[in-house]
Amino acid sequence: QKEVEQDPGPLSVPEGAIVSLNCTYSNSAFQYFMWYRQYSRKGPELLMYTYSSGNKEDGRFTAQVDKSSKYISLFIRDSQPSDSATYLCAMSGGSYIPTFGRGTSLIVHP
Amino acid sequence: NAGVMQNPRHLVRRRGQEARLRCSPMKGHSHVYWYRQLPEEGLKFMVYLQKENIIDESGMPKERFSAEFPKEGPSILRIQQVVRGDSAAYFCASVLRGLSNTGELFFGEGSRLTVL
């Protein structure tokens, strides 16, 4: 079993839809949870990070962490074609080394 | 303020040659990570360095791979005697402060290695 599981997709949605992206993990030591966005042929860029369980909102993006279920989510409201990218979850604990999921490819079509 | 700079962006090598990938962190950042990305596997950690010190190299293959971050100059990931399986995108990321769990890694655009 991989430490971080993420469905690679692709996930295709119409413009304006609410998108839900998810990751599960097995390492209970993980305390910090991040979401990165990666456009084709570019480096990942940090979207959001959260510490421990709970929700965090930033504009159209909401990150949720449920440590009891070892499950994290990223919601994107009013999705736009410019949101089309690969979304990577990442998490870290005492090692200070983020472990990444393999990424979910999102396609938002007009 | 320039971001993380990686070069070369694209590198082609024949089997058995050496590949050297360079990474200049963001100004003021003293720690860098190297990750390798393959289409089916996502980002895989390789090594975590600060200037003149390797903090964690648990993700580095035991042979042919080495990394350094000298007091002056960029961090270098060196792959000796490359094989086709080394073909991948190699990403460098820097952090403002070491040993931070906030996830604020700033990535470069990557170096894409193709081994013929």
Query: Which tens digits make up the pLDDT trace of B73-103?
Result: 999 999 999 999 999 999 999 987 765 556 5
**Does B28 score more than 70 pLDDT?**
yes
Q: What is the identity of the amino acid at A100?
A: F
From chain A, the residues in CB contact with B31 under 8 A are none
Q: Which of A21, A39, A89, A97 to probe the B interface (max B CBs under 10 A)?
A: A97
Residue of B48, B104, B110 lying closest to A97 (CB–CB): B48
The residues with which B116 forms a beta bridge, in sequence order, are none
B103 touches chain A (CB under 8 A): yes
Q: How confident is the model at residue A88 (pLDDT cuts 50, 70, 90)?
A: very high
Residue A64 near residue A55, CB atoms below 8 Å: yes
Q: How confident is the model at residue B23 (pLDDT cuts 50, 70, 90)?
A: very high
Cβ neighbours around B48 below 10 Å, total: 25
Contact A64, A72 (CB under 8 A): yes
Query: Quick check: A11 and A106 in contact, CB under 8 A?
Result: yes
**What mean pLDDT, rounded, does chain A reach?**
93
Q: Read off the pLDDT of residues B39-70 as tens digits, 9 standing for 90 and up.
A: 777 899 999 999 999 999 999 999 999 999 99
pLDDT given at position B42 = 86
B20 has a pLDDT exceeding 90: yes
The pLDDT, as a whole number, for residue B100 is 57
Q: For testing the chain A interface, which of B7, B10, B24, B43 should be mutated: the one with the most A CBs within 10 Å?
A: B43
By C-alpha distance, the chain B residue nearest A41 is B109
Residue B2 pLDDT greater than 80, yes or no: no
CA distances from A96 to A14, A76, B8, B98 (A): 37, 27, 28, 9
Tens-place pLDDT, residues A32-74: 899 999 999 899 999 998 888 889 999 999 999 999 999 999 9
Cβ atoms A27, A3 nearer than 8 A:
yes
Q: How far is A94 from chain B (nearest CA, A)?
A: 8
Residue A97: is its pLDDT beyond 90? no
